[in-house]
Structure 1
């Protein structure tokens, strides 16, 4: 057997026959590249074209002039509006008598962090579309990314598992880009497509030739590979590196990866993907890249989620949702308002708490429908209280982060005031700090417009994010709501209390009221009063309750 020797050859580790000369190796490698069916163009570290194979000259109809070849290629790239360094694109190249569809991939070549140069690999995919297998290619491949589509991926995975070594374990890795629909809506399909092409190219560079990968649906991709080659740290690092290229001041990319280990190769591949996707949906943290592995509890939760989504529209139409009111008090227990909280009043399952369905509706982009419904119930209740002992009470309602993108918030609330003929100062609007920091400029204008219309605006969950103080210099709200959970989330209560004290003082200096929610004990109440808090909400005073119970308990009104 010929001995294969590892060596640092031309700046990278290679394996070659130790009896071969360097000149022989260079000649063989050059000959191999020249005979490749793809066009290949190499640039040095300064971006100057230094080599191209014969196929590249043929594809761009250039004869024996390297400078003219690269100028022709680069002029085509620029005419398409493709930015320099874009990792992948697929566009038509036109000559005088024919159009060809070229798929181009760009790679930076580096050795241990040192950039040696770069290369373009150009494939004429119009040929594969026109030959005898063209129809099959179209049926099994995605037009945008040139990867397998869902049907092609399922078939290729089935073939891989049938032919794979029986004692080797395989996994399905499923990727999802968080809130990708919003990226398309806010920045257009071209930007969305550029992101998808980059994800496709990233996948192709992360795997080996025998692995199977494809675009399953929209922004979702899947990969089937041996478990022993899945390096979670390397994959996260690769995703972060690619995401950093795509992130801008106006949007950021967050990739969720779900992993399903295949125990039964006979299982339908679509079921395997479903389980990997279930793992994706359990990810709560908002990091650039997070990975979750499937377990059977996720299947139970997925079935519950499916039941919620299938019943939701019916429940809205049949008025199965109602509001519970949690009273808001002064320190002497006098009441000044209440927060309206959603409850699913299921005819068979009884009262379903919001933690069961809110997150499901948020992930499905349906939360705006529920919020609109709750806002209307609150407005209708204020109308019923007119002329009664409760007419001076206010009701606070929540605005979810996605509501700001799906709805015209100001118009929705203006319409409710007009429809029910209520005082806007009684319908308080709670916007979470997370929603505000997602788009400070948009929310600053919204809050200003709402206040001009007479609404009181509250910033909910203040202090939960990392940009709280920075946000306050741009946001002029009426009230800050601070959750006592702030103290529970740290072991250093002394430092937390100092921060809480200064936050309360700062809010008062800025002319804002402060409501502290989550108050559960008399000691907490006394502590907060010492800090200057006057408005409270929490179990120490009352639990959320049905409207009838609220009216009965506070029958004397304000």
Structure 2
């Protein structure tokens, strides 16, 4: 805007100067023309007087101009430059006059003086020529006072006009500034502020609806779009930040955030010489809930468990989900480690209370492991590993309990990890073998069927029994491929015996609950039978009583599918579960196996004997075959025979044997039958 004002001022000044110069030039030209005419008249009228040296006549001619107020003085000089006559206007000051004969120029006519500078010293001259002969010169000095006053008045008016024009230009500039410059400056200030503060919520005020207003609208719309994008980006970053540090399902801190908080707690505890407890909580049999009720119910249950855990701990404590059904709890600033056990008791008690999930009552328990800083470890990794180790020992001790970490646990855990690693390679290396334990008819002591039992002859550790590796296989999920291997290996052995011409008997295989509940279990069994060419009537599936009592409807569906194929179904370890007669009759099963724990004490303990008798009686009433397992004495056999038990299995007849020894036993059994028939 300053540039506009300066430009306007320069233009006005130049315009005014041009008008003044034009006015002065016009004034000079007018004076010159008028006085030159007057000089010409004087010269013509006084030429005769000069020739005859008649000064009186020349003076009279010269005095005739006294009526002209524009003439201040006039003189007639001879051709030699001598004064002939002169005229002075009244009031003229001779000392201030600048007119003399000696100054007559050589030109015929003209003017001289600084009229451009408004000087009073202006002179007009005109030669007097007669018949081509120069006889004298008329010199006139005009009276400039009036004209100077007019010029001064014109200058004053021009100055006033110039000032007025400048003021008008100034006020118009200010108005234009308010209309153009101020909005643009505000816009620039807003842009600068947005750039410095990164605050995209700022806006520039719109003061007009012209092009500037449109520009401001465009700028504000751009800021709105940038603000929306910035907000979306911030929300996306917050979401990523939350995903990086919080569990998406439960909203609890995840492993990364938990480890960060644990690291800070350890640093503070080390400086303040305080203790920190790390608790590892794992839900018991959570896979069963996922398998029976679905993952949606499992997820809802996890959310409820997370909510309960948060109500138990202090504000300064941290509850995190490490993954799956595993939770960790950080208890900083502990004065007494025993307080961690109180928290663990509350947690286990709270978790074990009934849950309402989609209108269904769900019960679940948890096992917890606790480790203390700095007693058990001083790093995040060590404490988490120790708490996990203690938790697994709690599970092995019956579940729904908590266990403090001890150094001895590390040795057991290392052995467990070593066994787990070896277990993963056992299938690949084909290290498993099947042993077969025959079942006999109690009446004639002849073989009726057999049970396939898995063994693991480890190349370095020797024979590893199933009770050591089967629970670990179930925890790791390896039970599924191992279970499929058992079924396939048993069928291949049946096929081999069939090819060799040996007598064929049904072979029973144990199927875990986890394997049985898989959706494709029936299809897998069918594929193995078709692959090996074994009749379904030669395969028997053994399930534990506890396995069939969960999600009964689904179990019945699968059992019917297997039964329709001709596969024999038996319930193993019967009597250890909680099935009732009304439930049992719904299952399409063929046999019941009395658990060995009842058989072992049946001859010495009245309660066990009563249970055995009741099971046999119930099986008879349902039309089921009854098999007693773990028979080792003749007294046990006599009791079973007296109660009408059809079959037995145990060391009294034979221990589990490898295939080659069992083949010999089959030959011996066949020879015995032949001799008996003869």
Query: Under a length normalisation based on structure 1, what TM-score does the superposition of the two structures give?
Result: 0.70
CA contact (8 A) 1:239 1:289 kept: no
Give distance in 2, aligned partners of 1:251 and 1:365: 23
CA contact (8 A) 2:348 2:401 kept: yes
CA contact (8 A) 2:265 2:276 kept: no
Which of 593, 615, 619 is equivalent to 1:507? Answer: 619
Whether 1:427 aligns to 2:533 is: no
Give distance in 1, aligned partners of 2:393 and 2:253: 26
CA contact (8 A) 2:389 2:405 kept: yes
Deviation at 1:146, TM superposition (A): 3.2
| Cα displacement string for residues 100-135 of structure 1 (whole angstroms, at most 9, x for unaligned residues) | xxxxxxxxxxxxxxxxxxxxxxxxxx99x7699987
> 2:642 corresponds to which residue?
530
> 2:339 corresponds to which residue?
229
> 1:261 corresponds to which residue?
372
Segment drifting more, 464-473 vs 392-401: 464-473
Whether 1:218 aligns to 2:328 is: no
> 2:267 corresponds to which residue?
162
Segment drifting more, 255-264 vs 546-555: 255-264
> 1:201 corresponds to which residue?
307
Whether 1:486 aligns to 2:598 is: yes
Deviation at 1:169, TM superposition (A): 4.0
Change (3 A) 1:387 1:316: closer
Change (3 A) 1:297 1:463: farther
Give distance in 1, aligned partners of 2:383 and 2:463: 34
Give distance in 1, aligned partners of 2:237 and 2:662: 74
2:612 match: secondary structure: helix
Which of 129, 151, 155 is equivalent to 2:256? Answer: 151
For these two proteins, the number of residue pairs brought into alignment is 434
Give distance in 2, aligned partners of 1:416 and 1:355: 26
Deviation at 1:403, TM superposition (A): 0.8
Give distance in 1, aligned partners of 2:463 and 2:316: 52
Deviation at 1:181, TM superposition (A): 4.5
Give distance in 2, aligned partners of 1:527 and 1:377: 35
Segment drifting more, 140-149 vs 349-358: 140-149
Deviation at 1:478, TM superposition (A): 0.5
CA contact (8 A) 1:259 1:291 kept: yes
List aligned pairs for 1:345-424, cutoff 5 A. Answer: 345-386=457-498, 388=500, 390-424=502-536
Deviation at 1:468, TM superposition (A): 4.2
CA contact (8 A) 1:212 1:224 kept: yes
> 1:141 corresponds to which residue?
246
> 1:543 corresponds to which residue?
655
Give distance in 1, aligned partners of 2:478 and 2:248: 30
Between 1 and 2, higher relative CO (CA 8 Å, sep ≥ 6) is seen in 1
> 1:275 corresponds to which residue?
386
1:319 match: secondary structure: coil
1:396 match: secondary structure: strand
Give distance in 2, aligned partners of 1:213 and 1:280: 16
CA contact (8 A) 1:487 1:493 kept: no
Structure 1 portions without partners, runs of 5+: 1-97, 100-125
1:216 match: secondary structure: strand
CA contact (8 A) 2:376 2:386 kept: no
Structure 2 portions without partners, runs of 5+: 1-226, 671-678
Whether 1:173 aligns to 2:279 is: yes
> 1:38 corresponds to which residue?
none
Deviation at 1:394, TM superposition (A): 1.8
1:465 match: secondary structure: coil
> 1:517 corresponds to which residue?
629
Give distance in 2, aligned partners of 1:489 and 1:199: 42
Change (3 A) 1:437 1:182: closer
CA contact (8 A) 2:355 2:362 kept: no
